[in-house]
Amino acid sequence: MDAHDLITRNAAEVVTEEEVEEIAADLEERSSSGSRTQSGDPEGKRAYVGYEPSGVLHIGHMLGANKLIDLQEAGMEVVILLADVHAYLNGKGTFEEIRETATRMQEQFVAYGLDEERTEFVLGSEFQFGEEYTLDLHALELETTLSRAERAMSEIGSGDSVTVSQAVYPLMQALDIEYLDIDLAVGGMEQRKVHMLARDTLPSIDYEAPTCLHTPLISELSTGIGKMSSSSGVTISMEDSTEEIEDKVNGAFCPAGEVDPEPTEEDEARNNPVLEIFEYFVFPRFDEVVVARPDEYGGDLRYDAYEQLVSDFASGELHPADAKSALARYLDSLIEPGREKLMEQRGG
Ligand SMILES: Nc1ncnc2c1ncn2[C@@H]1O[C@H](COP(=O)(O)OP(=O)(O)OP(=O)(O)O)[C@@H](O)[C@H]1O
Ligand SMILES: N[C@@H](Cc1ccc(O)cc1)C(=O)O
């Protein structure tokens, strides 16, 4: 697979396609001249994802991490920002609590396949309290209206009303891209408004507009409303046991035949999380997905592409109960190796 395909596979969108093509062309050129993955190279291309530290990684977080693994393969240097100050500004706990969970999160990324030697882990507080950063932040504050900052936070902010800290948050996220010297900012689709704000405002303080890549979102498991998240709803975490995975997947929202479920009466959009997890998390890792079925119900179903599975689901050939039991099995096999490693590390 060439650099462009590695960068863009399983992405929901890139902003802009031309800019990504330029990054890919540069990586290809460096690879053919033999100067590919030297870390610390000032000419190297760098990508990052930022996470508010939370107790345990969930499968939604892994979409960004898997993208970073693709980008490493394409020859990019990758950075994971453990955004402790951002989590604090977003009301996620005391600073001490957040710091502790940041260490746990780093351990988990490594257990789940990010090569420690080739991944730079950075805590936000390591550079966000510097004088230059603070002055740049104030300069961005002068360039941004409160309503724009508020809109950027509409899918990220916790709590009912926006606090001043949450208006500062997206401006700091924009500045991080500059201070970490990032060529490609990666995040889930709910980060796009912050990234658009960064593209619009960074040039006004003489920094470049960042190139961005957004990964799809996995919905909350039991209702299909909103995104799966660490702080609320039913979430498949990377530390769940086999039984926990089975129970959660069994209770997942997965109406028979409904690929695009109707919105609720309150007009909230709904998705089918079982299908989403197959599409974004399982199919990218397996050449073939087998749904086991007793012979009296027609025997096993085999799929080598998500589109085949979804078409059988829509026609009724694939029943939700069979889809769920297959999903639980595949999830467990993807989660097991890291779960074991973490247990060993913790002496369990
Ligand atoms: N359900 C999800 N599906 C896909 N990506 C996700 C999901 N949840 C979080 N991410 C991605 O993980 C990164 C970090 O998100 P974040 O720290 O807000 O996770 P979270 O679980 O929503 O946390 P919290 O609920 O505490 O806000 C972002 O790039 C985000 O897009
Ligand atoms: N906004 C991200 C966290 C983040 C913070 C700072 C960044 O520079 C990047 C990402 C989230 O919703 O979790």
Residue 39's pLDDT is 60
Residue 252 has pLDDT above 60, yes or no: yes
Percentage of residues in the chain with pLDDT exceeding 90? 86
Residue 306 is assigned to a ligand binding site: no
**Proximal ligand: closest to the CA of 185:** 2
Average pLDDT of the residues of the chain? 94
Site to substitute for ligand 2 among 61, 88, 191, 229, most atoms within 8 A of C-beta: 191
Position 194 pLDDT exceeds 60: yes
Mean pLDDT, residues 237-257: 97
Helices 131-143, 164-179: inter-axial angle, 10-degree rounding = 120
Q: Residues spanned by CATH 3.40.50.620 within the chain?
A: 3-215
Establish whether residue 194 lines the binding site of ligand 1, counting it when its CB lies within 6 angstroms of any ligand atom.
no
Confidence (pLDDT) at 35: 63
Which pLDDT value is given to residue 38? Answer: 56
Q: Is ipTM beyond 0.90?
A: yes
CATH of domain 3-215: 3.40.50.620
Determine the Cα–Cα distance for residues 201 and 347; give it in Å rounded to an integer: 48
pLDDT at residue 102 tops 90? yes
Q: What is the pLDDT of residue 271?
A: 97
| Per-residue pLDDT band at 55 (split at 50, 70, 90) | confident
| C-beta of 52 in contact with ligand 1 (< 6 A) | yes
Residue intervals in the chain for CATH 1.10.240.10: 242-345
Please write the tens of the pLDDT for every residue from 261-312.
999 988 899 999 999 999 999 999 999 999 999 999 999 999 999 999 999 9
* pLDDT score at 40: 62
Q: Which of 9-13, 200-204, 262-266 has the lowest mean pLDDT?
A: 262-266
Q: What is the mean pLDDT of residues 70-82?
A: 95
How many angstroms separate the alpha carbon of residue 148 from the centre of ligand 1?
21
pLDDT at 347: 80
Reply yes or no on whether the pLDDT at 37 is more than 60.
Answer: no
What is the average pLDDT across 122-130? Answer: 98
Q: What integer is the mean pLDDT of 49-54?
A: 94
Nearby residues of 156 by Cβ (< 8 Å), 6 or more positions away:
90, 169, 170, 190, 191, 194
For the domain bounded by 242-345, which CATH number is listed? 1.10.240.10
Q: Of 36-45, 74-83, 129-138, 298-307, which range is least confident?
A: 36-45
Please tell me the residue having the least CA distance from ligand 1 atom 5: 60
The neighbouring-strand residues paired with 290 are: 302
